[in-house]
Amino acid sequence: MLEITTIDENGVYAVKNCKKGTEYLVTIEPDTCPCIAYRYYGDCKHIQAVKDIVREDKHMKIAIERTEDLMVLD
């Protein structure tokens, strides 16, 4: 279970692994993570977790905008 905190709206997130007690500062676009997996593979679960959250957040914003449009049309 990863806990994600937004540090900066421009794409900086703190990803905390509660089970292991580790925390990484992840940046997306361009993607960077200080963990070992990222250093070896250029990708890691921390970045994936952040991207999932960001994608959901964008979907929510689109949904809200659409709802507002409908309200205006009504």
Chain residues that interact with Zn ion, rule: CB under 5 A: 33, 35, 38, 44, 46
Cβ closer to Zn ion: 41 or 73?
A: 41
- In whole angstroms, the minimum distance from the beta carbon of 9 to Zn ion comes to 21
Cβ closer to Zn ion: 13 or 33?
A: 33
Of 22, 23, 21, residue with least CA distance to 13: 23
Inter-residue contact 53 to 46 (CB < 8 Å): no
Cα 63 from chain centroid (whole Å): 18
Cβ closer to Zn ion: 20 or 71?
A: 20
Strands (E), the chain: 2-8, 12-17, 22-27
- In whole angstroms, the minimum distance from the beta carbon of 10 to Zn ion comes to 19
- In whole angstroms, the minimum distance from the beta carbon of 6 to Zn ion comes to 17
